Amino acid sequence: MKIKNFRFRKKILIYPLFQLTLIGVNCAILGIMFGVISIQISSVLRVLDQKGIEINLEATHPYFHFLQMESTMIHTRLAWGFFACAVFSNLAILLISHKVSGPIVRLIGYFRTVSTQGRDALSPLAFRKGDFFGELPPLVNSAFRIVLSEAPQDETFRD
């Protein structure tokens, strides 16, 4: 099966500061969620432990062993679950951030090229299919057409 126009992206982070900030915030939120849920589970297990003490069960009673086993199992599975969620949500954030930062990186490159090479470097701005900010290329292209049609040749790119 041949996939048309498939290119492997060598750069995972195309705008690292933005993308790593999003991933960091996502991990922090997931960490806080893990902590809050873990504390709530531990609180419930402490109440159950206290109930066993209140009804005068011996410390060696299987009830307390069962609670300890449940605590270990719940926290371990909770940790694995949050790790899996972190992986999947960070991958989703990375994919979405490409759709956001890709157009910005292209726009910066476009204006950098125009500012260094002048009129000769002008070509229509285009973003990838599926990128966010799809309204920018027609707007920038239209603005350049108007500016170029109204400005004298020698004054177009002067500060």
- pLDDT, one tens digit per residue, over 113-143 is 888 888 777 888 888 888 899 898 999 888 8
Rounded Cα distance between 144 and 136, Å, is 12
pLDDT at 149: 79
Cβ neighbours around 104 below 10 Å, total: 17
Please name the residue ranges forming H helices in 1-135.
16-54, 62-117
On whether the CB atoms of residues 138 and 103 are closer than 8 A, the answer is no
Mean pLDDT of all residues belonging to the chain: 87
pLDDT (tens digit per residue) in 62-87? 999 999 999 999 999 999 999 999 99
On whether the CB atoms of residues 97 and 89 are closer than 8 A, the answer is no
Closest CA to 37 of 67, 81, 69, 68: 81
Rounded Cα distance between 104 and 148, Å, is 23
pTM of the model: 0.74
